[in-house]
Amino acid sequence: MQEAGSMPDTVRPKRPLKSWFDVRHRKVGTWAFALNRLTGIGLSLYLIIHLVILSLLLQGEQGWNDFVTLVKSPFFLTLDVILLFGFLFHGLNGVRVGLVGMGIGVDNQRTLFWVLMAVGIVLLLAGAWLIFTL
């Protein structure tokens, strides 16, 4: 007989971290959950990188000039669009998860997901246009 609260070995994944991101043959909800985890990790890493790059400003006027040159490069602008995607996806999916967690839209989770992602795509396109034109 099993102890209360324990899971049989057939249910527990052998590689739990890998199973976090294993979305093969899964539904949209699993994809959203895995991508939410990845964007959360990405946003955390971005914060560290952001602080390192801001340390260029400690070098005075030359540091500021180097910083402005760096952030106006096409590569860095592309990274800004990727950051915007991560922020929008993570935030909008978090709104969906919060609403469903409060019992709002439980029966329409999939529709809520796609509506919020459509809003996200519009905001991403508008943001990408602004990032590259301003």
**Is 38 a domain residue?**
yes
Res. 23 pLDDT band, cuts 50 70 90: low
Give the phi and the psi of residue 66 in degrees, each rounded to 5: -65, -40
Residues of the chain above pLDDT 90, percent: 54
pLDDT at 14: 73
**Is 97 a domain residue?**
yes
**Is 10 a domain residue?**
no
Kindly report the pTM of this predicted structure: 0.78
Residue 100 domain boundaries? 28-133
pLDDT at 60: 86
Per-residue CA distances from 2 to 8, 10, 13, 15, 89 (Å) = 8, 13, 18, 22, 40
**Is 19 a domain residue?**
no
**Is 81 a domain residue?**
yes
Looking up residue 113, the CATH number of its domain turns out to be 1.20.1300.10
**Is 46 a domain residue?**
yes
